[in-house]
Amino acid sequence: MRHKINNTTLLIVFAALLVLTIVLFSGGNDHRERSFDKQLLSFETEDVSAIKLYPKSMNGAYFTIENEDGQWTIVSDDKRYSANNSSVDAMVSALQTLDIKSLVANKKDRWEKYEVNDSLASRVQLLSGSKVLADVYIGKFQFSQPQNMSTYVRLADEKETYRANGFLSSTFNRNVNDLRDKTLVDDRLANWTKMMFDYPADSSFVLEKQGEKWLLDGGMADSASVVSYINKVKQLNGRTIADVAENDVNKKYRLTIERKNLDAVVLTAGMAEDKRVVTSSENNDVWISDSDVLDKIFVSKNEFSVIKQ
């Protein structure tokens, strides 16, 4: 009789331990490591024809980025803009190399905590034609010592939330202007042969290269200063896009850069809505309003004089 009671007791204890184990591994402890497939996504970068991005900052609105012969174009509100190819390529690369560190939760009620729900996350879809290659929610960012950055992510059709390596929030929570091409000049020093600065009144001047020397309005220029100037502006990007149309700009300044065996680059600047703006013939659908960028481009004649005044 006692033997039967002991067996019954053991069975009850074993069943209780089994239930406890199942509960621990299926629900509550967000910090317990669980078994999971580290490769959540599998696709080839060349198959990505478009990206649909829902940045957290746009509160549910989205825009599309299309691949046109290797160049990315942003489509938003029936308008098309050249994209910064490097930034868009970085998005695709970040998802292809997504480094999953752990499974932190497998219940829907944990989504808000890790900011992987519709209202708190940035959502990104990679498309190949009409086929969805990836659909990911990019959630809360976490920084821990020593120098450990991670982001919580979730696949759109799954309940599980994962901790991924890296600061993914900054890569995907970006609006249209953040991802537009802001290039003003992208060139090499050796290509430049002449610069014509057209300013109001009588302050215009011309720099022209002869051999290894530069001339200022036909006289000797400080060639070292000219080279230093070119090095500052030969690869120049803006940061802030002004929401103005060309007709709104009162144009006052122009720099024409003539180049060896290449079309000239023309930088045009003026005033619009009480702020200075500049655009480039290389990227003329963008007006940049960063004062430091304009100051770097449009300098005085004295900058290149042999005798500084």
CA distance 113 to 97: 25
39 lies in some domain: no
Same domain? For 53 and 175 the reply is: yes
Same domain? For 150 and 197 the reply is: no
What is the model's pLDDT at position 202? 87
35-72 core/surface letters (b: 16 or more CB in 10 A; e: else): eeeeebbebeeeebebbbbbbbebeeeebebebeeeeb
Cα dihedral angle (171, 176, 178, 179), rounded to 10 degrees?
70
What is the model's pLDDT at position 31? 45
Same domain? For 211 and 284 the reply is: yes
Q: How many domains does the chain have?
A: 2
What is the model's pLDDT at position 72? 98
Same domain? For 240 and 165 the reply is: no
What is the model's pLDDT at position 307? 78
Q: What is the pLDDT along the chain (309 residues), one digit of tens a residue?
A: 444 445 565 555 455 555 444 444 444 444 444 556 678 999 999 999 999 999 999 999 999 999 999 999 999 999 999 999 999 999 999 999 999 999 999 999 999 999 999 999 999 999 999 999 999 999 999 987 667 899 999 999 999 999 999 999 999 999 999 999 999 999 999 999 999 999 998 899 999 999 999 999 999 999 999 999 999 999 999 999 999 989 999 999 999 999 999 999 999 999 998 899 999 999 999 999 999 999 999 999 999 998 766
1 lies in some domain: no
Same domain? For 175 and 199 the reply is: no
Q: Which backbone phi and psi does 22 adopt, to 5 degrees?
A: -65, -40
Contact 277, 182 (CB under 8 A): no
140 lies in some domain: yes
Same domain? For 188 and 168 the reply is: no
CA 68 to chain centre: 18
CA distance 220 to 209: 10
CA distance 134 to 43: 8
In this prediction the pTM is 0.82
Which domain range does residue 249 map to? Answer: 183-304
